[in-house]
Amino acid sequence: MSSWKDHIAVMHLVKQELVKRDKDKLWPHHLPEVGATEEQLQAAEMALGFSLDSQYREFLLYADGWKGFIQTVDLFGSGQLTGSGVLDDAMAFLDSVEPDVLECSGVAKEHLFPIAASSFDKDLFVIALQGSPAPGTVIWFAGEEIDRFQNFEDFFLAMIDYNREEVLALG
């Protein structure tokens, strides 16, 4: 069982340090959204036509999305997953991933679902759906596969580390 309160608190502390060091205002800085309700998640799943990954779903109960999660990447909440142009844009972004990139990654586009994206860069994070060879795997694309995480919790913890690296880079 994940300790989402602890993970979110650590990310928040790292992001606070990043705010202090980001003198040139390179990145947007936001708090996570208030957790989704069970009803919101059920409505999202009904609209999508499939159940969300269990770890991602559990996270959304604690934080229903996070703008500027890492640099200009927004981690989607239930509101972005249904009835918003954000998901449409992310799906179009997924459609634009080159077939050879997907082939090299060993994944089929129809097995992937966007969970985070940047509206300024080409960063796209997708999660492998049930029925895929590795359900729950999170993959980071930015023109090519940048990184891969075994599950949503590993992805979240890695993003804490990527934010820590940004803190160090800003000195």
Task: List C-alpha distances in Å: 92 to 21, 38, 74, 137, 152.
Answer: 34, 28, 16, 20, 22
132 three-state secondary structure: coil
Structural domain boundaries of the chain? Answer: 4-169
| pLDDT for residue 1 is more than 60 | no
| Angle CA 32–166–73, to nearest 5 | 45
What is the rounded CA–CA span in Å between residue 43 and residue 58? 15
pLDDT confidence of residue 2: 66
Second CATH level (architecture) for the domain 4-169: 3-Layer(aba) Sandwich (3.40)
Q: How far apart are CA 83 and CA 3, in angstroms?
A: 30
Percent of all residues in the chain with a pLDDT value above 70, rounded to a whole number: 98
